A and B are shown apart, each in its own frame.
Chain A
Amino acid sequence: MKTDIILCGVGGQGILSIATIIGQAAMDADLYIKQAEVHGMSQRGGDVQSNLRISSTPIASDLIPRGKADVIISMEPMEALRYIPYLAPEGWVITSTAPFVNIPNYPDADKLKQALQALPNIVAIDIEQIAKDNGIPRSANMVLLGAAQQALRIDADKLRQAISTVFARKGEDIVNANLKAFDLGGQAATR
């Protein structure tokens, strides 16, 4: 088993907490992990990404080669497109559809939609709307993780367990909100 994942978004959107959950689940499953993050200046409202590799055999590079990523998980639709050169031909893109507009030349909505629809394997959902409609507005990133579960090839139960572990210190309510978000994401992806 080997899954190469690119997590991306805009600085401050919480991609690292998705990475933490996947990392925890992979460690619980006794898998090898490498996860390269970006810290520092680029976190200030710029594009951010994390390369996350999990495997049942040892992993060499911390970075994913071009054409090798199995999944791109993106908190932002334009950011998902930035890493397409890294996607394997049969790879999946799981993305939020809500644009984060903090630059003057953000692409036209129709063009963006067309570019996303041109991808062979894509799940594009409005995670923020789903989270809001269900009274858990702060758990949008876990909706996205739920939507990505199948593409990740990690047991849903392992990911749910990891959510419980990672959020445990924040209390039961937060754990439950995030588990609910994860389940909603899974449902949205299969619809």
Chain B
Amino acid sequence: MKRLLLGDEAIALGAINAGLSGVYAYPGTPSTEITEFIQTNATARQRNIHSRWCTNEKTAMEAALGMSFMGKRALVCMKHVGLNVCADPFVNSGMTGVNGGVVVLVADDPSMHSSQDEQDSRFYGKFAMLPTFEPSSQQEAYDMMAAAFDYSEAQCLPVLMRVTTRMAHSRAVVQCADTPRQENALNHDAKAANWVLLPANARRRNDIVTAQQTRLEADAAASPFNSYLSPAAVSAVSPAGPAAVPAVSPAAVPAASPAGPAAVPAASPAAVPAASPAGSPAVSPKPYPLGIIASGIAFNYVCEAFPGGCPFPVLKVSQYPLPKALVQRMAAESESIIVVEEGQPFIEEQVRGVLPTTTTIKGRLTGELPRTGELTPDSVAKALGAAPYKELQLDADTESVVAARPPQLCQGCGHRDVYTALNQVLAEYDNPRVFGDIGCYTLGFLPPYKAIHSCVDMGASITMAKGAADAGQWPAVAIIGDSTFTHSGMTGLLDAINENADITVIISDNLTTAMTGGQDSAGTNKFEAICRGLGVEPEHLHVVVPLPKNMPEITDIMRREINYHGVSVIIPRRECIQTFKRHAKAKKA
């Protein structure tokens, strides 16, 4: 069956067709659509595949491990910074290993289209010693899901699958299976000793997983997702996606030995005539002036740069650990090497460790490619010396007519009224500080509100306000959304309550996870109970409706609670204008 799918949707369908039993996720751009696809997919509904949103990435990762412990296949999805939140279970999942297959799908956001940093998740994969997959096309993303679950079970390790924005949010036609694989049966046979990370068990597992790395690298060298393409082959392979490439089956994997990948023999005399074997003079010219290592979607930009076929050998990397044997082969036949990768110089730094320092290695670290930000077909073409396309030349100055149009809070959004009230009240104080958080309301930093002074990570508003109050700051106000509060704000509020910190917390509740498109929010209808349960005094807990007509009441409460020297919580509650419109439309239909 052929379907036009977003990369995220291809991943979701690939997982369902691979016998998935549960997806565990917290929304985050650009990963959100994976779980949303599974929530509405007919097979997933019929099989009752778990797809409800989790409170945060840590609870998601742990639930997935629990499902795996019982023998079933689980998928965990998040954006890159979500991996920081679940770093503890993620890293330790390498120590426990898995029973049912686990794929941890992390969507990185280079250039920070909708994020606060551009960290590269592949480092986490290496850090946790886990095999890492990085698809280069939507088709490959689909195919990789079955391969990743099989491989996870064959190696008894979770597989990290890393995608980036342009893979997650780009559509292409994908050839997919008509019938999904059956789910795994419930299986209680997982060895408890692996799952109890007491030091004695953990030391044993650490030795096993560390020793396993050689095998993982050999498998990567033999993987159908990695390929060493000689110049003639590059144009022929590329972009349509490796539809013909069979998925890695557990049976096939053991065939690869550390000694040398069977499928891709190291530089043989036949393949590379100029790099002659023994007996030749010490200085033999290498056949190619340049070799290209390209990972994930960077491979597509390399192909785009040479529409008539690439004149250089290309090592396409879509499975890690980095296969050093293939890198060495490239060095043997290329005068210099350029590494083209989306994100941070992950491969580039490793290649420097693999090859003698006399080899010329180019990439993001040496300035041929930009050190930060997303790659583009233009930046890659330039780095490879391909000629740019002719651009339209105009006499008129078009550029100066175009003004920047930054995102902003929607007309009719309740956060607007909250900021209007807050600004009005805080104008009465000297040096107030407002600690913001992650969500639509971060846009309150921009004009016309200019209302917040910080935004670091999920939940930091409350704890930072507390730290500032500890330092003597007053007023110290935290503003946090409903979904962010349950994600990571509750524990910080308990810290503040236990010390009766002099802070005012505003939980701007729009009844949804709005920034990512309106997903269910874990705490809806529970906020007053949560705050009371944590110990907020009832007389310092208020709910208001953020509308212009209620301004006098809202400002009065804010003023009173700022003047109260202890923890107070104000909950302005009004539905997100986007979900409100959607609900109204659905009701009409």
Residues in chain A near residue B303, CB distance under 8 A: 60-61
- Which residue of the partner chain, among A24, A40, A81, contacts B30 with CB atoms under 8 Å? A40
Contacts of B301 in A (CB 8 A): 60-61, 63
Q: Which of A104-112, A125-133, A147-155, A182-190 contacts B (4 or more CB under 8 A)?
A: A104-112
CB-CB under 8 A for A44 and B403, given A27-B4, A34-B172: no
Given A41-B515, A60-B303, answer yes or no on A111-B403 (Cβ-Cβ < 8 Å).
Answer: no
Known: A60-B304, A81-B398. A24 touches B408 (CB 8 A): no
Measured CB to CB, the closest approach of chain A to B27, in angstroms, equals: 10
Interface residues of B in 395-418 (CB under 8 A from A): 395-399, 401-410
Chain B residues with Cβ below 8 Å from A11 are 407
Number of A-B contacts (CB under 8 A): 165
Q: Quick check: is B113 within 8 A (CB to CB) of the other chain?
A: yes
B462 interface residue (CB < 8 Å to A)? no
A34 with B403: CB separation less than 8 A: no
Q: How many residues of A contact B (CB 8 A)?
A: 54
The reply to whether the CB of B170 lies closer than 8 angstroms to some CB of chain A is yes
Of chain A, the residue at the smallest CB distance from B297 is: A62
Asked if B239 and A59 make an inter-chain contact with CB atoms under 8 angstroms apart, the answer reads: yes
- Are B517 and A46 within 8 A (Cβ)? no
Is B390 engaged at the interface, CB distance under 8 Å to the other chain?
Answer: yes
| Closest Cβ–Cβ distance, residue B241 to chain A (whole Å) | 8
Distance between B370 CB and nearest chain A CB, rounded to angstroms: 15
In residues 236-273 of chain B, which contact A (Cβ within 8 Å)?
A: 238-240
Instruction: Evaluate contact between A84 and B405: CB separation under 8 angstroms.
Output: no
Enumerate chain B residues within 8 angstroms of A84, measured Cβ to Cβ.
392, 394, 398-399
Q: Is the CB of B166 within 8 A of A62?
A: yes
**Chain B, range 279-310, C-beta contacts under 8 Å to A:** 297, 300-301, 303-304
Flag if A78 contacts B403 (CB, 8 Å): yes
Set of chain B residues within 8 Å of A42, measured between Cβ atoms: 113-114, 407
Residue B391 lies at the interface, judged by CB distance under 8 Å to chain A? yes
Interface residues of A in 27-51 (CB under 8 A from B): 27, 32-47
Most buried by A among B6, B33, B171, B443: B171
Q: Please name all residues of chain B whose beta carbon is closer than 8 Å to the beta carbon of A88 when the two chains form the complex.
A: 389-390, 392
With A59-B239, A60-B303 in contact, is A65–B170 under 8 Å at CB? no
A34–B238 Cα distance when bound, in Å, is 14
Check B403–A107 contact: CB distance below 8 A.
yes
Q: For residue A10, which residues in chain B have a CB less than 8 angstroms away from its CB?
A: 405
Name the residue on A nearest B439 (C-beta). A41
Instruction: Give the docked Cα–Cα distance between A27 and B167 (Å).
Output: 19
Residue contact A32 to B389, C-beta cutoff 8 Å? no
Select the stretch in B348-356, B376-384, B419-427 that faces chain A.
B376-384
Contacts of A45 in B (CB 8 A): 405, 407-410
Contacts A37-B171, A65-B376, A68-B389 aside, 16 further interface pairs with beta carbons under 8 A come to A34-B170, A35-B171, A37-B6, A39-B169, A41-B443, A42-B407, A45-B405, A62-B167, A66-B391, A67-B391, A67-B392, A78-B401, A81-B402, A84-B392, A87-B392, A118-B396
Can you report 22 A-B residue pairs in the complex whose CB atoms are below 8 A from each other?
A23-B171, A33-B173, A39-B30, A39-B114, A39-B517, A40-B114, A41-B29, A41-B515, A44-B443, A46-B408, A61-B239, A61-B301, A61-B304, A62-B167, A62-B300, A63-B301, A65-B381, A65-B389, A67-B391, A89-B390, A107-B403, A119-B394
Chain A interface residues toward B at CB < 8 A: 10-11, 23-24, 27, 32-47, 58-68, 78-79, 81-82, 84-85, 87-89, 91, 102-103, 105-107, 111-112, 114-115, 118-120
